Chains A and B, each alone.
Chain A
Amino acid sequence: MTLTEHLPILIIILPLFAAVIMPLTGVVNRSLCWYFTVVVTFLVFLIALSLVCNVMEAGRISYWLGGWKPPWGIEYVVDKVSALVLLVVSFIAFAVAIYARRSVEKEIAKSKVPLFYSVYLLFITGSMGVTITGDIFNLYVFLEITSLSLYTLIAMGPKRRALIASFNYLILGTIAGTFVLIGVGYLYMVTGTLNMADLRVLLPELYGSSAVLTAFAFFTVGLSLKLALFPLHIWLPNAYSYAPSVVSAVVAATATKVSAYVLFRILFTVFTVEFDTSVVPVTYLLIFFSSVAIIMGSVIALSQTNIKRMLAYSSIGQIGYIVLGAALTNELALTGSIIHIFNHALMKGSLFLVVGIVVYKTGIDDISGFKGLGRKMPISMAAFTLGALSMIGAPLTVGFVSKWYLAIGAINAGMWFLVPVILVSSILTAVYFWRVVEKIYFHKADEVEEIVTEYEVDGAGCACKRFEAPLTMLIPTFVLSVLCILFGIAANIPAGIASSAAKMLLGGGG
């Protein structure tokens, strides 16, 4: 077998190997860890990129683990949807890895830095695995790897509340994981197979069976909990706001997206669209809950004073968009949904990175701390504004593209009443982001400039005179926010991939 044939497994093995070697690297030289992480995530990104190219040319790639034929062995599948998600996750992982150096130096104890990078890479391994696997039990395993490393990453947050946030997430995440496992168990019980493509073939005969219905219920609830759909979102705000800045960014940009991807897989690959709409009308439920999520996420975000919490609640609303597009089960809406996975990763990633910069430079994570920063950190604040515009859905930004697809999709589905939901939430988004943008550009800075915070022990940031963040932080942030504009203008590139992906999901391709 040639190297290209091995790419689907290398994308998993590479970060796994690196994660295992990382603590040893830390013993040799602590500063090597960062370089090592950047190199590995870059390679993973390159692999993802070449996988996308291969898939667009040649179609579905299947890799048999251990050479075992699929229904019996574990199969890794790269198709248009998973290739896109792989690309998003690996790109964000790479950008955040570059950014991580200074932020991690400041927020995480020196002795824990190698472990941080190790767990970070393990998280990437898990996310990649969830995306690429075509085996439903393997999916559960990777989901748990992702979650377990995430609990650890969140618990490394600088405040003690991070431990509680992480523990709450651990409890709810474990419940969600168990639900998914029960679902897997029921499906295995009635079909005797764990391969997704095989399940799709075998399941239709058993759609009446109560075991299948139970499995489906467990999957839906478990995954909704994992991706923080509105009534099941309570773990998310604390987890996002107490995690280290780097972790907030990578989690907000990738973790819930990967869970959303899993939901797509269950809804459209393991089960069929007919099942979701006619046998069990779960799509109506999901439409209802995601609309509530869109509105409530924005409303609650409006009342937040902590910037990270505000972004966290805004994420809950955005997750609503992603689920809504899937629940409408028509091609345009699903395209919007898939493209929103990509777009939201870019914009939320850049927003959280800017917040990370502000926390790094000033130690404040309150909205009032943004007063007058437009003068002091023009580049990062420009990045924030671009991100905010995208979130609102201003034309020529990525946010507009996905909302456009969703709105058209809703009208095509005959659910015109969803269009006002999208509009109202856009207005609310504009309002809560405007509060911040106003502080940035139209308020004078407070007199007290450099506040020494509780975790600014080594005083790494205060010594320098220039107020703008270091380049390793600035470049990834700015690149992400520029991409928000770039892909808003050249929208046909991601939209092309997303729409063929949506076609494939709805048309029954595995």
Chain B
Amino acid sequence: MNEHVIVQTISKILIPFIQLYALYVLAHGELGPGGGFQAGAIFGASIVLYVLAFGMKSAKLRFKSKVFDFLTSAGVFIFATVGVLCMIAGGAFLQYSSLPLPTKKLASGIGIYGIEIGVFITVTAVLVTIFFETAEQDDD
């Protein structure tokens, strides 16, 4: 795995852009095509690319599977928390417009962002976990 200089160099250049693009898709989700799921898939793909280029061992040093386990739950937690905050603010579950912010429009926007970030985190973490789990089978 150490010989692939071209693959490794290009991956090093590309990965930040892929991740930036993922964040763009996340941020753009409420207005155009995109959203948390797609962004999570792209972000997960960037990590998969890293593993493919640099091998499992160096990937294991960078990404602890415990962290991804935690993130998987954390994403769902954020999603549900935003929903419950709406309830505490007096609306129905996930009724963003009831969030206590200056305008209803802003409240909806922020609420959807919260949800999308939760989805983004969970999708990334689950994709990477699935990839690690299946990749590890061959290593053992």
Contacts and interface: CB of A to CB of B under 8 A. Distances in A.
A13 B86 CA distance: 13
Chain A interface, >50% SS class: helix
Contact of B91 (A13, A20, A67): A67
14 contacts: A6-B92, A6-B93, A13-B80, A13-B83, A13-B93, A16-B76, A20-B77, A21-B77, A23-B69, A23-B70, A24-B70, A66-B86, A66-B93, A66-B96
A36 to B, nearest CB: 14
A17 interface: yes
A20 B94 contact: no
Contact of B87 (A6, A16, A23, A64): A6
A20 B87 contact: no
Chain B interface, >50% SS class: helix
A65 interface: yes
Contacts of A6: 87, 92-93
Contacts of A464: none
Interface string B73-110: 10011001001101100111111111000000000000
Interface residues of A, number: 15
A1 interface: yes
Contacts of A23: 69-70, 73
A23 B80 CA distance: 16
A63 interface: yes
A63 B95 CA distance: 12
A94 to B, nearest CB: 22
A65 B91 CA distance: 10
For A6, A65, A66, the residue with the greatest tally of chain B CB atoms inside 10 Å of its CB is: A66
Contacts of A63: 92-93
Given A13-B83, A20-B80, A65 B94 contact: yes
Contact of A67 (B70, B80, B97): B97
Contacts of A213: none
Contacts of A67: 91-92, 95, 97-98
A16 B83 CA distance: 12
A112 to B, nearest CB: 13
Given A20-B80, A23-B69, A67-B95, 13 more contacts: A9-B87, A9-B92, A13-B80, A13-B84, A16-B80, A17-B77, A17-B80, A20-B73, A23-B73, A24-B70, A24-B73, A66-B96, A67-B91
A295 B101 CA distance: 63
A9 B93 contact: yes
Contacts of B87: 1, 6, 9
A66 B76 contact: no
Nearest to B94: A66
A170 B98 CA distance: 41
A65 B79 CA distance: 14
> What are the 4 closest A-B residue pairs judged by CB atoms, nearest first?
A67-B95, A66-B94, A9-B93, A67-B92
Nearest to B111: A66
B95 to A, nearest CB: 4
Interface in A174-216: none
Contacts of B93: 6, 9, 13, 63, 65-66
B22 to A, nearest CB: 23
